Each structure stands twice: as structure tokens, then as C-alpha cells.
Chains A and B, each alone.
Chain A
Amino acid sequence: MKSTTGVLAERKDSIRLADGCAGKGSFKCESKSVSGAVSQRACVYCGARVVLNPITDAFHIVHGPIGCASYTWDIRGSLSSGEDLYRNSFSTDLREKDVIFGGEKKLSLAIDEVMEQYSPKVIFVYATCIVGVIGDDIEAVCKAAEEKYKIRVIPVKSPGFAGTKTVGYKMACNAIMSLITPKEKVEKVNGVNILGDFNLAGEMWIFKDYLKKIGVNVVSNITGDAKCADLLKAPTAKLNLVQCAGSMTYLAKRMEDEMDIPFIKVSFLA
């Protein structure tokens, strides 16, 4: 198909057309989009959500206007062998009044309403653009909820404008570290963690099956088909296998520094 539009000057180097633009073919990751681009790139919140959402038995509450939650409602195709809780969409649906007077009360009440109906093990609270701008202190709300209900309530600092999707991955990794960092030193077991596979169409199950056949024990999946109880065991593994380097290298490095778990980059594709 012949190209009918021009190409942004800033992107020329990264585009090669069969008959036309012949860029040098360089990748430009993590650079900001050019304003006015018909871009398909996503935001920080999106990055955090796609990394954390596959945790099957956690509650994911999106603190923001309804859009952020409704657009990310069960669109990932990440499969679960157990709980399907994560396939619902929970939002605080901030309205104009909340934006003016602050949404912290509503978030607190939303967590109360979740606790009334269910007994979650972990709640993740995602911040969105608006929350970043109006300055809701979601860390404080989460801390108060933790003390009240004695379960982990983890804030994910992911306002959409604060960078690109990769910042979102980082924030999600920070949230995971916050969840799994043990209070005391743990005893290591012979096992690995698989980082950076989200079990889209069951891929995690295929990898685990291969590893099982060769006698390698998988301690936890991060985060495809993940269960909170398994995630909490992650610090006991002796090695991390990093499939998706983009989203998980940061987590792997942190785990190496703080939990003494070395990592290797792998690829199960071909």
C-alpha cells in the first residue's frame, strides 16, 4: 500500500519503507512522543496496570475517573488457573466534586466497601493523571487501610503523564517489591522465579511445563497467573529468569541487590 501521509521529522530515522523513507533503522525507546503524532503509545498508568493486573487474587482499584478503569477492563487476555477476581474492573469513579475537594475520602470509603463484601489478601490502588495533579495522598490512605484491616494495601504511583509506559513498569515493580520484601531473612529453596511473562494465552503454563519436565522448580510467576501466596515466596528462590526485559529488568536488579537473587535474561520465543 502506498503511503499517503508524511512522516514526522523526529521519527524519520526509525522508519524504513519499501518505497520511501529510508531511515537508519534505529530504535528510540523511552523517548517522549512528539506532540501531534498519531501515536499508539500508552501512558504510565497503562504500564503499571498491564504488569500488575495478572495477579489473580488481588484487588485492583483504579483511583480516578471512570475511563482509566473501563478501558483496561479485561483486555489483556492473561489467563488464570484459579481466581478470576482480577477480571473485574474496580474504580472510584471520581466526579467533579471529588476533583475539587479531593478524592481521598472516596478512596478510603471504596476500600471499606471492598472489605465489606470480600476478604482480599492484597489490594493495589492505582493513581491516575488526575490524582497526580490534585495531589491525593494515596500512600496515606493505603497505610491507614493497612492498619485498619491488617492486609497489604499497596499504592501504585502511576499518574499517566509522568513519563512513558516504561515508568509505569518501574512503578509496578516497586509495588511488587513492596509486597514481597520479607521482614526477616528467608531460607533459600532450589527454585526459580519467572519474571516478565503475563500468561497471555497460557504462555506461562507452557514455560512452567517445560521447566517441570527438566526438573526445575518454579517458586513464583511474576506476574502471569500469579497468586499472592506464591509471590510472597519469591524471595526464597535462587535464580530469576527474566523473559520480558523491558518491564522486569528493573525488578530483577532490585531483587539481586536486596534479596541476593541473581538473574539471567532468557527468551522462550523460538
Chain B
Amino acid sequence: MLDLTPKEISKRTALTINPAKTCQPVGAMYAALGVYKCMPHSHGSQGCCSFHRMYLTRHFKDPAIASSSSFTEGASVFGGGSNLKTSAKNIFDIYKPDIIAVHTTCLSETIGDDLKAYIQDTEIPDGKYIVHTNTPSYVGSHITGFSNMICGFINYLSKSTGTKNGKMAVMPGFVNPGDMREMKRILGLMGVDFTMLPDTSGVMDAPMTGNYDMYPKGGTKIEEIIDLGNSNLTLALGDLASEEPASVLKRKCGVDYKTLPLPIGVEATDNFIMALSQFSKNEVVYALEEERGQLVDIMLDAHNYFYNKSVAIYGDPDTVLGIASFVLEMGMMPKYLVTGTPGVAFEKKAQELFDKFGVSGCIAKAAGDLFELHQWIKNEKVDLLIGGTHGKHIARAEDIPLVRAGFPIIDRYVHSYMPLVGYKGAMRLAELILNALMDRQDRDCNEEDFEMVM
């Protein structure tokens, strides 16, 4: 198949080949898993629920639970109201969550199910909650779904009592539990009192204890989501995923917000930490200064192995932009940036990055697919690929090393426990990039150039 990608690029408007995105509901399911004792509920055919759970489990290598309304033809004609009511009863009876987070699928959206009305008509046990969000799969991508689910939680639960609680509301963006842990560690070091929504650390990277817990210990608590309305400030990381919920919180509860790109690389992490320092009025602690110095030291030490190498980065928009920013800092050329998520904001931000670092000849495309990326690479090769598992066919066909960073990574382990954000994350990313490039050099060089010391 790898040879089936023709070098000649023909214009395609109707056919997507090898997508670089997926649909909204899986993002919503992931966001819902980041709330403590929450059961994500897929209001649609049972296939959707299974596919989404499977996709998440393959990436995190951890169970992803969710229930389904199990639509049939009858429901598609008469509406899914009774499915939802039966589901709610069964879920609270059998699985006993504290909250059910319903997201819709293309089916329930198209038949026009009014979830707000259904939920209002449903009997909810005392002290329990049901929230919903609309996630039609033919709009946006899984990032949109993730963002919509957080908006759903805020719309239903967050309240402002008038008294600020001194906390920062942190929206981490579409990142792994490893990234959320790292963000929390930095927030802790900077003395910031915060609530993170959603927080999948301790849920999708839960330890093996010998017992199966349907609801692991991690996740944002419901009381914290309610109290979000009293936050002093919202920090929305990864604007393309987090701006919308931050703005919803502002409209509903008057909490001001600040958006920043995902803290990947030196400058982005600097900006993140400075925002925390401004909030907590604390000086930047030495531990973080030291990490920054270590990162810069590494970049200087190893620069001759990555300087000027060209790289193609594909995946989710915030992650791609974050990694692009870091590789530019390293002195590499992010020749092709591709995301499947539609939206010109991505292309604009990418161009701003290219202009800032003074690089030319780089292409950024939103609503692209991996087939097109492969064709670009066939015409003008790159030295490195950075992205999820689906690029491995390109990597093999064109014999280019692939560094796995982003979503989904379904053919490797450990990655979701580790960060890409923060100085530590950048050090990890630098290590992955260097190992890939230097292994390749060791593999391909002449015998006389095969060095012990590099």
C-alpha cells in the first residue's frame, strides 16, 4: 500500500484518504473520563460507543468505560428519549456513578433529539447529576468534542456565589495524563491553588492494584466543577481546544480567562510559568529555573545532530503547533504541518511561527489527510516524522524515522504516562528526536564513520 501512493498530487475535494483526525464523540468521552466517578454515555448506536472505547483503550492501554443508548431503527424514527431514560435508570442502578455525562452522535443529532428536554424529564436520584453536550460527528473533529464536553460540564454545574475562592481554573487541552501530571507539578511548585478540568491523571494512567475499579481515584471532583464559577482566573492551555470552555465560564460566571499555547518547548513553558507567577505572586522557584537550564544545556550540547534537519509533524492542532514551536527553537525546519481538524486559525498560527523564526518553504494545512502528506514527502523528502501511529506506513515506505508524539499512539507503550509539556517534557521530546536521528546515523553510516563517541 505504501507503493500505492502516487507521487503526482491530484486535487481532492470529496475523498479523504487516511485521515489525520477523528470524530467529536471520542473527544467528549475522553473529557468525561477526566471527572471523578463519571460515566460517559454515548447517545447513539452501540457501534459508536464500542469504537470510541476501543480507540481510547488502544492509546492508553487502560480500560475506558462508557455506556450506550443502543439505538435501533425504532429509536431512529421515534427519537431516543426512552433509550436515554432507560439508560439513566440502568446506569445509576447497576454502575452507580455520581454523574452521567451524555454526548450525542451524528445519528441522534440528525434525528433532532432534544437532550435537554429528555434529561429534564428523567428521574435523577438525589445527589446525582446528568449533564450533556452536543457533539455531531460531522462538525470539527475530536478536539471540538473534547471542548464541547467541558462546556457541557460548566453549563450544567458551575456556579458563582459572589465570593472568589482564590483558585485558578486550568484547562489543560487535549493532552495525555502524563502531561496533566506535569502541569500539576509545575502549578504546585509555583504555589498556585488550582482546579484542573478535565483531569485524566489517575484515571487513564491508573496503577495496577490487583483490583478492578470502575471509577479510579483520579478525576476532577464535582464540587470542584461547581466551585469553578468562583475562580479568580481561567488559564486555557491550547487555545484551539480550551478557549471555548473558558469563554463559556466567563459568560456564565464572569471568570476572566487567559489563553496560552500548550507549554511545549522553552518559550511556551516560560510563558506558562510567568502566567502562574503573575497569578500567585510567587517568584519562579529554583527547581524550575534549573530544569530550564538543563533543557537549554541539552539543546546546546546536541545541536549538531538536529540542526537544520527537516521534519513533518501531523496530529492534533495544538500539539502540532507546540511541537513545531519547539523544533524551531532547536533549529530544525518544520517543513510540513498537518492536522485533520478543520479551521484556518491553525494555518494562521503556523504562519506566525514561521514568520517569527524567519523560515520559508514550510507548509501548514488544516483539514488535511495523511495521504496528501505522503505525496508531499514523495516530492520533497524530510529527515524526520513526528506524530501518531498512523504515520508509520509513510515512515516505512519512505524510510524516514518516526517519533511518536500525539494522538493516537496505538502501537507503543508508556507514552501516555510521560509528558511532552514543561521543560521535562521538552527534554523527553529532545531525547526521542535525538535517538531517532542518531540511531539512523548509526544504521546508515559507513563503517569507518561508525563512532563510539557521538
A30 within 8 A of B: no
Q: Are A39 and B50 in contact (CB under 8 A)?
A: yes
Q: Is A216 in the interface zone, CB < 8 Å from B?
A: no
Docked pose: A85 CA to B53 CA in angstroms: 27
CA distance A48 to B70 in the complex (A): 18
Interface centre among B4, B26, B83, B214 (most CB of A within 10 A): B4
> CB of B69 within 8 A of chain A?
yes
Q: Is B137 touching A6 in the complex (CB atoms < 8 A)?
A: no
Q: Give the chain A neighbours of B107 by CB distance below 8 A.
A: 129-130, 133, 160-161
| Contact residues of B between 79 and 113, Cβ < 8 Å to A | 82-84, 86-91, 93-96, 105-107, 110-111
Residues in A with CB closer than 8 Å to B390 are 73
Question: With A and B bound together, what is the CA distance between A134 and B110 in angstroms?
Answer: 8
Q: Is B46's CB under 8 angstroms from A39's CB?
A: yes
Q: Which chain A residues lie closer than 8 Å to B48 at the CB level? A: 43, 67, 160
Residue of B with least CB distance to A132:
B76
Q: Are B16 and A90 in contact (CB under 8 A)?
A: yes
Interface presence of A174 (CB below 8 A): no
Question: How long is the Cα–Cα vector from A114 to B111 in the complex, in angstroms?
Answer: 31
Contact: B86 with A34, CB < 8 Å? yes
Contacting residues of chain A (27-61) with chain B, CB-CB under 8 angstroms: 32-46, 61
| CB 8 Å contact bits of A83-109 with B (1 = contact, 0 = none) | 111011111111110110000001111
DSSP majority for the A interface? loop
A46-B47, A87-B1, A99-B106 in contact; A92/B16 too (CB < 8 A)?
yes
Check if A163 is an interface residue, CB within 8 A of chain B.
yes
Q: Are B110 and A99 in contact (CB under 8 A)?
A: yes
Q: Which residue of B lies closest to A168 (CB)?
A: B47
Given A65-B106, A84-B4, A109-B14, CB of A42 within 8 Å of CB of B210: no
A245 at the interface (CB under 8 A from B): no
In the assembly, what is the distance between CA of A32 and CA of B69, in Å?
A: 11
B 10-38 contacts with A by CB, 8 A: 10, 12-19, 21-26
Q: A71-B22, A93-B16 are contacts. A35–B70 as well, Cβ < 8 Å?
A: yes
CB pair A85–B95 under 8 Å, yes or no, is no
Q: Are A99 and B76 in contact (CB under 8 A)?
A: no
**Contact (A6, B95) CB under 8 Å given A39-B49, A65-B23:** yes
A61 to B15, Cβ gap below 8 A? yes
B86 cross-chain contacts in A, Cβ below 8 A: 34-36
Residues of chain A with a CB closer than 8 A to B26's CB: 67
**A144 in contact (CB, < 8 A):** no
Other-chain residue from A40, A65, A88, A129 in contact with B53 (beta carbon distance below 8 A): A40
A173 and B34 CA atoms in complex are apart in Å by 41
- Which residue of chain A lies nearest to B210 when distances are taken between CB atoms in the complex? A1
Report chain B residues within 8 Å CB of A43. Answer: 45-48, 50
A140 sits at the interface (CB 8 A): no
Residues of A within 8 A of B72 (CB): 32, 161-163
The reply to whether B138 and A35 form a contact with Cβ atoms under 8 Å apart is: no
Are A69 and B214 also in contact (CB < 8 A) when A84-B4, A163-B72 are?
Answer: no
B23 touches A41 (CB 8 A): no
Bound Cα distance A57, B146 (Å): 37
A129 and B105 within 8 A (CB): yes
Contact of B110 among A88, A93, A133 (CB under 8 A): A133
Complex: how many Å from CA A227 to CA B141?
A: 34
Given contacts A42-B51, A96-B138, contact A163 B94 (CB under 8 A): no
Q: With an 8 A cutoff between CB atoms, is B401 at the interface? A: no
| Alpha-carbon gap, A49 to B23, bound state (A) | 18
- Give the chain B neighbours of A46 by CB distance below 8 A: 47, 50-51
- Determine whether the beta carbon of B138 is less than 8 Å from that of A36: no
**By the criterion CB–CB under 8 Å, are A96 and B65 in contact?**
no
A34 to B72, CA, bound (A): 11
Query: In whole angstroms, what is the CA distance A36 to B371 when docked?
Result: 38
Also in contact, A36 and B51, with CB within 8 A (given A89-B17, A107-B14): no
Interchain CB contact under 8 A, B47 and A69: no
Q: What residues make up the interface of B, taking CB atoms closer than 8 Å to A?
A: 1-2, 4, 6, 10, 12-19, 21-26, 39, 41, 44-55, 65-73, 75-76, 82-84, 86-91, 93-96, 105-107, 110-111, 136-139, 141, 210-214, 340, 371, 390, 393
28 CB contacts below 8 A, A to B, read A5-B94, A5-B96, A6-B96, A35-B83, A36-B87, A36-B94, A37-B67, A38-B67, A41-B46, A46-B51, A65-B138, A66-B16, A66-B19, A66-B22, A66-B340, A70-B22, A93-B19, A96-B136, A96-B139, A98-B138, A109-B13, A110-B15, A117-B10, A118-B4, A128-B106, A160-B107, A161-B71, A161-B72
> 5 tightest CB-CB pairs across the interface, nearest first?
A43-B47, A67-B23, A36-B87, A36-B90, A84-B1
